[in-house]
Structure 1
Amino acid sequence: MSGTYSEHQVEREPALPALIAPGRRMLLATLLLLALAVGVLSVIIAWQVGQLAAAFSLGSLLWVIVLSAVFFGGKFAERVQAEKLGQHYVAQLRVSLISHALKTSRGPSVGITVARSSNDLSSIRNWVTQGIVPLIAGIPLIIFGAFGLGLLSPLLAVALVIPVLLEISLLAGLARGALRTARVLRRHRGNLAARIADTVSASTTISAAGGVHREVQRVDQSAQKVVHASVHRAKYAGALRAGALTVPLVGTALVVAAGSWAGLGPGLLASALTLMGICAGTMGEWGRIVEYRQNYRAGRRIIAPLLEQEKSWREAEQQLTSTRVAKDLNLETLAVRIRPTAEGLENWPSLRAQGGARIQVLGTGAQAHALLEALATGRVGTDIQRLGGLWIAEGRSEDLPATERRKLLGAALNTMVLERGTVLRALTYRHPGSSAKRALRMANECGLEVTSLPEGESTMLRRGGEPLDSAQRASLIMARALLRQPAVLIVDSLINRLPHEAQSRLAARLNDYPGVIIFHGEMTGIKATRTWEPTAAADVAVLESAGVDEE
């Protein structure tokens, strides 16, 4: 059953990037030095308190106050350094996580991505800042405390070791239940985030169908699961924290009893109780540390495989075989060859085309969409795969880095959503080096009058393209695809959303386009020179076995 452990099989824990890495090593070293300094300082404070208890003097009291202030400064610096460490680490994970979401063609919903970028990364940050760091600081403190108690009396050191072992056993027994409930809560939170994101996105449809009350009820049902899961997890969290606070009380009683048994004087007993109090404060954090550890493991179980996948994609991109730079090509002598062999595209025969070809993609909508998206993005299915062979002119464009590949291919698809930023940034997004004058001229030709926008080219686009309407968004996407006349232009029925006059101008432009156009759907005024449609699997096998590329 999912989520359980068998006797003969241990679940493999996925790995996250190393915490000890450039940029964080100095922070970790500083934390370790602070931990050692605070540990030594605790022994000195305890000794000074003993001196004060044995014989009161104003000098001893002042020393205790000064040393306590230094102790405060050490713990304060420790917390600040811990936050720096956690934020630095999580920032690295966030970049990789968002990169994975952008590279995956069928990635999770917006709600799931937001939940992973907030809740899961917060659990990892909490583990680093309030889990690992307190351990780094606490273990030396316990060791120095035991050493200091041992100097007073070996029996006192034993009185400290017993509650430490007892607390470790108690927390270890509760840890598995805390992990299980953390996973359940994480799953319900993700489902709730996804439902809220999908519901808000469909607000117009829901309101038009009178379904607001129904959808609110469904969201509330998902929220109730989060409530129940949170309460269930709180039982383990409460037991962890209560145990971590209760056991040190037993330790204090053992120290008092051991001190009385050994016949220690008031000064030595005061020193022992001071050391035990410092150690008790550290032990009191262990319950929270275990809770953070289990939340971290629950988040890591989901995030780590995604980051490992993104790392493999990044390394593959860094080992691209082609070193050719995508300069401006002579479109009159352009040669394009596409041989789709990636999973899901095997039924498409190879295609060869010269500049000026206008190729209409046939087949079902799903088949055509999968092919056009693969051509436009280089992504196939749920993973980044090689398309199989996309040659433009003398080189393979699929082996070019994305920054070079984008210069050769322009795409305008209905599924595209505009990124956040200004209108001018959106127009030049594929070709950042293009001049604003050229980009605005192309936008006007495609039906987008930038001067009519509230702030012209500086108008800020949000939520997928607002405040532009559907026709304006289509015009912007089309203008971006056509900017600097790419060798291969990939379009679908998005062109039909353009203003009527712009459609006529664009149809004339595309019918005389010097590059290769690959399009799907019926487009007013555009005449196809040939078609491209999927072939039965048996026919593809015959062509491949004969070494033939179908024209």
Structure 2
Amino acid sequence: MTRASTSPWPRLLVGGRRAVFGALVVVGLVSSALAVVAAIGVGQALAAGGPPGVAMTAGLLLAFGGIAAARYAERVLGERLGQSFVMDLRRGLVRSMLRPDRRGSLGVLVTRTSNDLAAVRMWIAQGIAPLVTATPLVVGATVFLLVLDARLGGVVAGLLALTGCAVVVIAGAILARARAVRTLRGRLAALVADSARAAPSVAAGGGIEREVARVGRAGELVMSASIHRASAVGAMRALVLAAASAATISVVVVGTGVGLELATIGSALTLTGLLATPLADLGRSVEYRQNFRAARRMIEPALAEEAAAIEGSAPTADGADGADTADDGPVVEVAVGGRTVRWPPRTRVRLDPHEDGALLDVLVDAASGAGRRDAVRIGGDPIAAMSERRRRRLVGAGRSGWLIERGPLARAVTYRRPRLPAESAEAMLRRLGLDPDGLPDGIRTRLREGGAPLTAAQRSIVLAARAMLDEPPLLILDGMLEVLPDDAAGALLDTLRAYPGVVVLGTRRSEAELRW
């Protein structure tokens, strides 16, 4: 799990996870020692030829109780290790998903953050953890059997070696089939997400049943691939179970065949019995490992894109604005058609979405931290290279049709300036013509599903209020006037006329209609 520093994949053994991993190693060593103690105790009890004494019985109960406690600790520690690692991965995936220049279907991204992360967690929690704890037990038991009787130990060691060779062969098939399942599952998720987003046009075209059939065909491919994978997984589990059973039978056959004492056979049977569970865990570990490798193949490109974007952006440090300023604020520079346009404060720029759509996209992308690095500058510094904190202080942008994140209305308005009080959000909404008192819970109304229960016009007011809050030096609004009712559009224009910074307004209205 530990990769070179250039890999986008996070390291497993960092921070508090080192201590958890160390605790797992201790649990494995303790369980191995307790298994040997239990085997010796059973042998001594059988050699005594009578009922074991109180001390012997208590010792055996303590040994087996300790093994059970170690099993409990392994599960808890493994889950803690897996959840901690997946939390780091989830942050990277969500960060990648929220980038404005991300590629890929939303359905695929949701699958990455659910099914594929579950495979990663399973590998760490129920793959790596049992490997760490079971390996000392298997090695210790085999060594003890060799010491107890070389013939018994040799037979068991040989069975384990043969099982390991067979596992390597089956593991390749599991990996190939797991990759096929995840590829098909991602395609199915993308198809379902795209069909759901296109629901109105699908219904209008009379294609609901066709889409259902299309999703059904994709689902059948996933089902077939999953069953195909299950056959390889089943073979793996059957092989490991057979190996554990064969080890027990071999101890009985070899032990009685060569005339070993009952106490020796009893000790060996105790150990092989205790080996059954860790052997099954090791078999499942191989399965989880292959599922993890298939999931990693899906997750890593998204992490690589995020790492490349972060490296390419190289945010400038927070601090004073650049030197290119006028008396009343920073100057905005935009590279257009091989030349640079300078907009001092209070400049009003009208852009027609049909004629100037490309320039609008450049400005909005820069406000989102995407696009060409030096396309837009404010105060002499490129917007796309700024840290999020500095960029949101200097630039406000809103575009009609944007969805709003889930949460209270006050949070949606103060999203750019999260430290401002809810009263600031309420005042800005009223200024733009939206009275929060008319909503179910006022300024505390919880928005969901992109902005419900707000109407399209109300969502545009919220986006405009967010962009204008605290009066950033550069304000970019696109398509707002076209979706607002006349009174709200008039309130917005009145506010823009008195705005102290640079205003870029994407609208089909003429300069004469704007009167600014």
Q: What corresponds to 2:346 in structure 1?
A: 356
Cα separation, partners in 2 of 1:322 and 1:139, compared to 1, 3 Å: closer
SS at match of 1:359: strand
Q: What corresponds to 2:424 in structure 1?
A: 438
For structure 1, which segment, 486-495 or 13-22, has the greater mean C-alpha deviation from structure 2 after superposition? 13-22
Q: Which amino acid aligns with 1:353?
A: W
Matches within 5 A, 1:164-175: 164-175=160-171
CA shift for structure 1 position 360: 3.4
- Alpha-carbon distance in 2 for matches of 1:83, 1:138: 16
Q: What corresponds to 1:320 in structure 2?
A: 315
CA shift for structure 1 position 214: 2.0
Q: Please give the root-mean-square deviation of Cα atoms over the aligned residues, in Å.
A: 2.5
Cα separation, partners in 2 of 1:267 and 1:482, compared to 1, 3 Å: same
- Alpha-carbon distance in 1 for matches of 2:200, 2:311: 42
Q: Which amino acid aligns with 1:324?
A: G
Gaps in structure 1 of 5+ consecutive residues: 1-12, 341-346, 381-385, 531-551
For structure 1, which segment, 246-255 or 154-163, has the greater mean C-alpha deviation from structure 2 after superposition? 246-255
Deviation digits for residues 509-535 of structure 1 (CA, Å, limit 9, x no counterpart): 3345332222334136677899xxxxx
Cα separation, partners in 2 of 1:246 and 1:331, compared to 1, 3 Å: farther
CA shift for structure 1 position 76: 0.8
Matches within 5 A, 1:135-534: 135-314=131-310, 320-325=315-320, 332=328, 334-339=330-335, 347=337, 349-361=339-351, 367-368=358-359, 370-380=361-371, 386-393=372-379, 395-523=381-509
- Alpha-carbon distance in 2 for matches of 1:333, 1:37: 68
2:27 corresponds to 1:34: yes
- Alpha-carbon distance in 1 for matches of 2:326, 2:439: 36
- Alpha-carbon distance in 2 for matches of 1:520, 1:349: 21
- Alpha-carbon distance in 1 for matches of 2:225, 2:327: 61
- Alpha-carbon distance in 1 for matches of 2:43, 2:512: 94
- Alpha-carbon distance in 1 for matches of 2:217, 2:338: 45
| Count of aligned pairs | 505
Is this contact kept in 2: 1:324–1:395, CA < 8 A?
A: no
Is this contact kept in 2: 1:325–1:404, CA < 8 A?
A: no
CA shift for structure 1 position 348: 6.1
- Alpha-carbon distance in 2 for matches of 1:513, 1:157: 85
Identity %: 33
Q: Which amino acid aligns with 2:162?
A: L
- Alpha-carbon distance in 1 for matches of 2:489, 2:297: 50
- Alpha-carbon distance in 2 for matches of 1:144, 1:526: 88
- Alpha-carbon distance in 2 for matches of 1:90, 1:130: 14
Gaps in structure 2 of 5+ consecutive residues: 1-5
For structure 1, which segment, 78-87 or 502-511, has the greater mean C-alpha deviation from structure 2 after superposition? 502-511
Q: What corresponds to 1:343 in structure 2?
A: none
SS at match of 1:371: helix
- Alpha-carbon distance in 2 for matches of 1:266, 1:334: 91
Deviation digits for residues 484-507 of structure 1 (CA, Å, limit 9, x no counterpart): 222111121133111211112222
SS at match of 2:482: helix
For structure 1, which segment, 205-214 or 46-55, has the greater mean C-alpha deviation from structure 2 after superposition? 205-214
- Alpha-carbon distance in 1 for matches of 2:8, 2:42: 46
